[in-house]
Amino acid sequence: MNRSHRHLWRGHSLVAVAIGATALTANAQDGPARILVGFSAGGSFDAIARLVGEKVKDELHRPIVVDNRPGAGGRLAVDTLKQAPADGSVVMLGPDALA
């Protein structure tokens, strides 16, 4: 991976941490927060979600659960997100095509 790709990944990671922390603090509760990932464990989205989860956990002092929902190109995770309560405790990390 060359330097420009590394800088790009670092930039995206910082944005993801900032967005994740903001979204999960909207209505902070005592229970764990979830980051939905529409792909299987061990992939790039899973790795990014776990890194973001660690950073957000340190900021919020709240457990973060990475919830992998593989299948249908990420649509299963989208459906799970749509059914989740709108209290800010569930966010999703996925490609922009699912937005």
What does each of the 99 residues of the chain score in pLDDT, given as a tens digit?
555 555 445 545 555 555 555 555 555 567 889 999 999 999 988 999 999 899 888 888 889 999 999 988 889 999 999 999 888 889 988 877 766
Q: What is the CATH T-level fold of the domain 3-98, as seen in this structure?
A: D-Maltodextrin-Binding Protein; domain 2 (3.40.190)
The reported pTM is 0.69
| Confidence (pLDDT) at 36 | 93
Buried b (16+ CB within 10 A) or exposed e, 48-84: bbeebbebbbeeeebebebbbbbeeebeebbebbeeb
